[in-house]
Amino acid sequence: MHIDGHCHCGAIQYEAEIDPDNVAICHCTDCQHLTGSVYRVTVSVPKADFRITAGEPKTYTKIGDNGRTRFQMFCGNCGSPIYTTGTDEDAEEIGIRWGNISQRRALAPNHQIWCSSAANWFGERDALPGQERD
Please write the tens of the pLDDT for every residue from 116-128: 888 878 777 776 6
Average pLDDT over residues 103-131: 81
CATH number at residue 53: 2.170.150.70
Q: Specify the pLDDT at position 113.
A: 81
Position 134 in a domain: no
The total of structural domains in the chain comes to 1
| 91 within some domain | yes
What is the structure's pLDDT at 52? 98
Is residue 46 one of the residues assigned to a domain?
A: yes
- Residue 133 pLDDT grade (very low, low, confident, very high; cuts 50, 70, 90): low
pLDDT digits (tens, 9 = 90+) for 7-41: 999 999 999 999 999 999 999 888 888 898 988 99
- pTM for this structure? 0.88
Beta-carbon contacts of 130 under 8 Å, excluding residues fewer than 6 positions away, are 25, 111, 112, 113, 115
* Residue 99, CA distances (Å) to 4, 22, 23, 69, 108 in order: 12, 15, 12, 23, 12
- Main-chain dihedrals φ then ψ at residue 35, nearest 5 degrees: -100, -20
109: in domain:
yes
Q: Does 133 map to a domain? A: no
In this predicted structure, the answer to whether residue 79 has a pLDDT above a threshold of 90 is: yes
**Residue 65 domain-assigned (yes or no):** yes
Is 28 within the bounds of a domain? yes
Checking if the pLDDT of 129 tops 60, the result is no
56-75 residue pLDDT tens:
999 999 987 678 899 999 99
User: What pLDDT was estimated at residue 68?
Assistant: 87
Whether 130 shows a pLDDT value over 70: the answer reads no
What is the domain extent for residue 110?
2-127
132 domain residue, yes or no: no
